[in-house]
C-alpha cells in the first residue's frame, strides 16, 4: 500500500534532449543544453506558441539523437503550465503519436517518466514511449501573474519560470536497440498532494518543500533504503527558499540527506550573474537539467544511483483569489547509471 | 507499434459512483445517478469550489460502495476542465492518495481508466487504483466562454458542459476482494490528437468526431476486431453534431458501426425537455453515464462487450484567439461484463 513501486526489470531512457531560452543558456549549465534560442521565440509570433514550438523542437531533437522518427513512438506523455496544456497538445502532441496529457505543474517530468515506465512494463505492445515537458517564462508570467511588459515587482521568494524543455525516449532495458549504458529507472514513488496552508502564490518553495519532505520520508521509511545509497538526491525546483525549508522539515523528522541534495532550480542559474530571486522553476527546469546534466553523468558512470523528485506547485490563480491554497506534490524516480 | 494494448489479464472496476447537478438529474438518466444536488453548489460558495466538493463527494461515494477508506487506495488518477485542474487537486487529490494529475479535457475518464489499468498491470505493489473526473457547467462557462450571468447566446452546435462526476475503483480481476461479475477492462487504445482545422470553439463535435473516427478506424483495422463483436460502441460527448459527423467520416472510410453507436452527451439530456443544443459535454458527462448506465448493464450481463471512447476537445481559449485550432482526442477501452 502506497509503497515504493519496484520495477520487475528496469526501464531505460535511451535518448534525451534539452532546449532552453536565452537566460537559461547564459546560466552555468548553458553549454550543456542541446539547443537554445537567445530570443526565447523559437520562431513563433506569440510566447504561447513559442512554447508549442519548443515542445516540438525538443522532441524532434531526442528523436534525431535516437535516429528514430515520431512514427516509431508508441506512446507520448506530455504536459506544461499553460491552461489546457496547449503547448503540449498543439506542440509535441500534434506529431501523430498516441498521446496522454498530464497536469502535474512543475512535477510533470517525473510524473511522465514514471507513467511511461509503468506503461512499458505493463504492455509488450508498447515498445517506445516518449515523455516531453516544457515551460516558458513569458507565457507563465502572463498566465499566473502579470505580463512582463507590466514591469511588476516580484518578492524575494519568487522563482523564475524557466524557458526550457526536456524530452526523453524510454524502452524496456532488454530491448535490443537500447545501448548500454543508458540510464535506467528502477523504481518510483508517486507523490501525494500536500496542503500546508500556503496562500502566497509567490512562495512556491514553501508550498513544495513539505511535499518533497513527504515523499522522501515515505521513501526512506522503507528499511531497504538509506540516503547513503544515493550519490545525489535531486529535487526539481524547490529553489533556495524551498531547499532551506526541506532541510528544516527533514531535520525535524530525523532524516539527513548527507549533503547529497541538489535542486535543479538552484543549479540552472548563477545568482551572482542572473538575479532570479529564489531560483528557477517550471516544468522545463527539472526536465532540461535532468536531460543535460544528470542523465549524462549517469551514463558516464560518474553517478551510480540518484533519486530524482520533480516538485510541483498545484497553484490556480483563481483558486487563490477564492481563498484556496497552493498544494505541493513531488513524485520520485530511482535512476541508475553506469554498467548494469 | 501503435497497436491495441491487450491486457495479459483483465482489470476490474470493482466499485463506481456518479454525482450530478440539477439539470442532469432532471434528464432521462436522473434516477440512475447515485447522488445529485439540485442547486449545483455541493455546499460551496463558488462554482469552482463546488466542483472541488463534487470531486470529493463522488470519490467518497465510490469508497463507501466498496466499504473502503481512502487510506486503502494506492494510486489516484484525476483531472477536470478547470485551469490547473484545481477541482481535482484541491478536490479528490487532497484526500491523501498518491496522485497523478491528468489533462485530457472531456476524454479524461477514459485516459484515467487506461492509465490506472496499466499501472495495476505493471506493479504488484499497486493493489487499488482510483480514477475520478468531474466537470461543472457554471465553472466551465466562465472559464471557456462567458459567465452565465452575462446571458450570452450559444450557437446550435454548442454543447452543455455537464455538472457531473464519476469515480471508479480498479484492481486486478484476480484480487480476492473483487466480486464477480465486476465489469472488466481487457484492452485499450490510446488516442492521437487530431487537428481538423476547426477554429470554432463552439463546435467541439466537429473537432472531436475526426479523433473518434481515427481511433475507431485504427481499432477496427485489426483483423481480430469487428463491430459485430460489441453490443455498444459508446462515445463520451460527440453530441448530435459530432455523432452525425462521425457516421459520415466512418462511412467515407468503409466502417459501419451496425447501429451500435451511443453517445453519452446525447443520452444525458432529453432535447424535448431540456434544450442543451447539441448535447452534453464535459469530463463528467462520459464518467457519470459510464458509472450509472453502462457499468451496471455490464454487471447485470445485459451488455457483454462494449467499446468506450471518451472524446476530448483540447481547446484553449487563448490559443484560439491566437489563431490556433481545436484538437480532438479519443482514447478507447474495451469493457466486458457478465460472468468472466
Q: Cβ–Cβ of B329/A119 closer than 8 Å?
A: no
CATH number for the domain harbouring residue A145: 3.40.47.40
Check whether B81 has a pLDDT greater than 50: yes
Chain B residues in contact with A6 by the CB 8 A cut-off are: 125
Give me the number of domains chain A comprises: 2
Residue of A78, A138, A199, A314 best to disrupt the B interface, most CBs of B under 10 A? A314
* Boundary (domain end) residue, out of B172, B203, B224: B172
Q: What are residue A188's DSSP bridge partners?
A: A5, A333
**Hey, is B111 helix, strand or coil?**
helix
Check whether B339 has a pLDDT greater than 80: no
Q: What is chain B's Cα-based Rg?
A: 18
Boundaries of domain holding A198: 184-336
Tell me the mean pLDDT in the region B166-181. Answer: 95
Nearest chain A CA: its distance from B94 CA (Å): 6
Alpha-carbon gap, residue A293 to A274, rounded angstroms:
20
- In this structure, are A17 and A159 located in the same domain? yes
pLDDT at A141: 92
pLDDT at B237: 96
Q: Cβ–Cβ of A100/B122 closer than 8 Å?
A: no
Give the cell for residue B310: 471518451
Check whether B223 has a pLDDT greater than 80: yes
Check whether A1 has a pLDDT greater than 50: no
Range name among A143-147, A324-328, B88-92 with the lowest pLDDT average: A143-147
pLDDT at B325: 96
The pLDDT confidence band at residue B1, using thresholds 50, 70 and 90, is very low
pLDDT tens digits for A179-209? 988 999 999 999 999 999 999 999 999 999 9
Kindly write down the DSSP assignment for every residue of A259-301, as one continuous string. Answer: T-EEEHHHHS--TTTS--TT-EESHHHHHHHIIIIIHHHHHTT
**Within a domain: A131:** yes
**Within a domain: B211:** yes
**Within a domain: B177:** no
In this prediction the pTM is: 0.98
Residue with cell 513524485: A331
**Within a domain: B178:** no
∠ CA B206-B209-B210, rounded to 5°: 100
* Boundary (domain end) residue, out of A149, A172, A195: A172
Check whether B184 has a pLDDT greater than 60: yes
Of B99, B193, B317, the CB nearest to A192: B99
The pLDDT confidence band at residue B146, using thresholds 50, 70 and 90, is confident
* Boundary (domain end) residue, out of A141, A172, A203: A172
pLDDT at B55: 98
Of A84, A125, A324, the CB nearest to B3: A125
pLDDT at B150: 86
pLDDT tens digits for B296-335? 999 999 999 999 999 999 989 999 999 999 999 999 999 9
Alpha-carbon gap, residue A310 to A291, rounded angstroms:
13
Residues shown for chain B: 340
Q: Which residue of A has its CA nearest to B316?
A: A84
Q: Cβ–Cβ of A94/B327 closer than 8 Å?
A: yes
Amino acid at each position: 500500500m502506497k509503497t515504493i513501486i519496484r520495477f520487475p526489470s528496469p526501464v531505460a531512457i535511451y535518448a534525451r534532449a534539452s532546449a532552453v531560452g536565452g537566460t537559461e543558456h547564459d546560466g552555468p549549465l548553458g553549454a550543456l543544453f542541446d539547443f537554445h534560442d537567445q530570443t526565447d521565440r523559437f520562431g513563433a509570433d506569440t510566447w504561447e506558441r513559442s512554447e508549442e514550438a519548443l515542445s516540438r523542437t525538443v522532441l524532434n531533437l531526442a528523436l534525431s539523437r535516437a535516429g528514430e522518427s515520431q512514427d516509431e513512438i508508441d506512446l507520448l506523455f506530455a504536459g506544461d503550465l499553460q491552461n489546457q496544456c496547449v503547448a503540449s497538445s498543439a506542440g509535441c502532441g500534434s506529431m501523430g503519436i498516441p498521446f496522454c496529457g498530464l497536469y502535474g505543474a512543475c512535477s510533470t517530468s517525473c510524473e511522465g517518466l514514471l507513467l511511461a515506465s509503468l506503461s512499458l512494463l505493463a504492455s509488450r505492445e508498447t515498445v517506445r514511449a516518449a515523455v516531453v515537458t516544457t515551460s516558458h517564462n513569458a507565457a507563465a508570467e502572463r498566465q499566473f501573474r502579470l505580463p512582463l511588459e507590466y514591469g511588476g515587482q516580484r518578492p524575494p521568494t519568487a522563482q523564475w519560470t524557466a524557458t526550457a524543455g526536456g524530452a526523453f525516449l524510454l524502452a524496456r532495458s532488454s530491448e535490443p536497440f537500447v545501448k548500454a549504458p543508458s540510464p535506467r529507472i528502477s523504481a518510483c514513488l508517486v507523490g501525494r498532494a500536500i496542503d500546508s496552508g500556503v496562500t502566497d502564490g509567490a512562495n512556491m518553495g514553501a508550498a513544495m518543500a513539505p511535499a518533497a519532505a513527504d515523499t522522501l520520508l515515505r521513501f526512506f521509511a522503507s528499511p531497504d533504503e538509506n540516503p547513503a545509497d544515493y550519490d545525489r538526491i535531486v529535487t526539481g525546483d524547490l529553489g533556495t527558499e524551498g531547499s532551506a525549508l526541506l532541510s528544516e522539515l527533514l531535520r525535524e523528522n530525523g532524516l539527513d540527506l548527507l549533503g547529497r541534495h541538489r535542486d535543479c532550480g538552484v543549479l540552472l542559474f548563477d545568482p551572482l550573474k542572473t538575479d532570479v530571486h529564489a531560483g528557477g522553476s517550471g516544468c522545463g527546469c527539472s526536465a532540461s537539467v535532468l536531460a543535460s546534466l544528470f542523465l549524462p553523468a549517469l551514463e558516464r558512470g560518474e553517478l551510480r544511483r540518484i533519486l530524482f523528485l520533480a516538485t510541483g506547485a498545484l497553484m490556480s490563480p483563481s483558486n487563490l483569489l477564492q481563498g484556496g491554497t497552493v498544494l505541493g506534490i513531488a513524485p520520485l524516480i530511482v535512476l541508475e547509471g553506469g554498467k548494469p
